[in-house]
């Protein structure tokens, strides 16, 4: 597995598969590049180059004590793109990865980017403020962090079925649910806490309004991790010309439960 070094000396792992126009996949909070196992073969078989990043503290990347703020994580993504000199990119970000994609665009512009897909993204702004009454109170964020610090395995176990909305008939085996939980628990405890906190406090509204490249927003109507009224629908209202697709039986884990539809929608974005 190749690595590159960021400005603060952190070594980050990434993977590459295929050739052709590049698609950069940015993983969810607490998950790594391995989460995209149902997307990579689909796009490689259709002639695309798939690039996948393990953010700091996740997967096979270094576990530094700091750098988990939103700006540094966006700069890490920029460093990968520049390291590989990628251009005409399709950026695909899931959950907190979608937030990092949005911050990358706000900080580094669209020069290298052709199009964007926000999948179950925790956008535009999670924290409740006077001008963001749709957000959640800060006490909710800190309560989750307290649970991470007390019993992380229990926190993930309690939410595993809801992540995939199995109560709506989505066919996900117990073994696959267990795999997802194990991947989450492999993330460093500090990264788990600090990425969660910084994502909660990040306001992306101004940056979303400035996006000019073709943008796809995909969200599940039954998303328990990022409720659609707070996230997907509001994001669609902010991105100029964004295409919004809502999956009625989708939870947060659309990349598994609705992989055929999601892959097809991303392919339509690329070909569009």
Structure tokens at 240: 């100029």
> Residue 134: is its pLDDT beyond 90?
yes
Number of H helices, E strands in the chain: 10, 8
Q: How many structural domains compose the chain?
A: 1
Catalytic residues: 95, 223, 252
pLDDT, mean of residues 179-187: 95
| Chain Cα centroid distance, residue 86 | 19
pLDDT, mean of residues 83-99: 98
Within 10 A of 240 (CB to CB), how many other CB atoms are there? Answer: 10
> Residue 97: is its pLDDT beyond 90?
yes
Structure tokens at 30: 């607490």
Structure tokens at 74: 């966006």
pLDDT, mean of residues 48-68: 98
Structure tokens at 255: 């990349």
Cα gap 218→207, rounded to integer Å: 18
Phi/psi at 4 (5° precision): -140, 165
**pLDDT at residue 176, rounded to an integer:** 95
Find tokens 């530094």 and name the residue. 64
Collapsed DSSP state (helix, strand, coil) of residue 89: strand
Cβ atoms of 24 and 91 closer than 8 Å: yes
**pLDDT at residue 219, rounded to an integer:** 98
pLDDT, mean of residues 233-244: 98
Cα gap 175→191, rounded to integer Å: 25
Cα gap 217→13, rounded to integer Å: 27
Closest CA to 265 of 224, 29, 250: 250
Mean predicted lDDT score pLDDT of the chain: 97
**Would you call the peptide bond into 47 cis, given omega within 30 degrees of 0 as the criterion?**
no
The CATH code of the domain that includes 105 is 3.40.50.1820
Within 10 A of 66 (CB to CB), how many other CB atoms are there? Answer: 12
Q: How confident is the model at residue 1 (pLDDT cuts 50, 70, 90)?
A: confident
pLDDT, mean of residues 193-206: 98
Residues 15-28 have pLDDT tens digits of 999 999 999 999 99
Q: Residue 10 is part of which domain span? A: 3-271
**pLDDT at residue 83, rounded to an integer:** 97
Cα gap 137→233, rounded to integer Å: 19
**pLDDT at residue 119, rounded to an integer:** 98
> Residue 10: is its pLDDT beyond 90?
yes
DSSP secondary structure string for all residues of 221-269 = TT-SSS-TTTTHHHHHHHSTT-EEEEETT--S-HHHHTHHHHHHHHHHH
Structure tokens at 98: 């979608």
Residue 156: exposure state from Cβ atoms within 10 A (0-12, 13-18, ≥19): buried
* pTM, rounded to two decimals: 0.97
């Amino acid at each position: 597995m190749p690595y590159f070094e960021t400005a603060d000396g952190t070594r980050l792992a990434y993977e590459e598969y295929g050739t052709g126009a590049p698609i950069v996949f940015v993983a969810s909070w607490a998950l790594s590049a391995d989460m995209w196992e149902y997307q990579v073969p689909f796009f490689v078989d259709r002639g695309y180059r798939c690039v996948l990043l393990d953010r700091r503290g996740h997967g096979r990347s270094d576990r530094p004590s700091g750098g988990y703020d939103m700006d540094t994580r966006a700069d890490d993504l920029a460093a990968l793109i520049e390291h590989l000199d990628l251009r005409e990119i399709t950026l695909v970000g899931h959950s907190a990865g979608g937030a990092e994609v949005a911050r990358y665009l706000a900080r580094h512009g669209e020069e290298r980017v052709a199009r964007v897909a926000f999948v179950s993204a925790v956008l535009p702004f999670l924290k409740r403020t006077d001008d963001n009454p749709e957000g959640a109170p800060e006490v909710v964020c800190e309560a989750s962090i307290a649970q991470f610090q007390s019993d992380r395995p229990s926190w993930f176990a309690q939410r595993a079925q809801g992540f995939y909305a199995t109560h709506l008939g989505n066919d996900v085996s117990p073994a696959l649910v267990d795999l997802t939980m194990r991947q989450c628990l492999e993330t460093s405890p500090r990264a788990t806490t600090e990425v969660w906190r910084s994502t909660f406090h990040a306001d992306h509204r101004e940056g979303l309004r400035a996006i000019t490249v073709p943008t796809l927003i995909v969200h599940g109507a039954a998303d328990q991790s990022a409720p659609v009224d707070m996230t997907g629908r509001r994001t669609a209202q902010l991105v100029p010309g964004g295409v919004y697709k809502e999956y009625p039986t989708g939870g947060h884990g659309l990349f598994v439960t609705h992989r055929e539809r999601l892959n097809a929608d991303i392919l339509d974005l690329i070909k569009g």
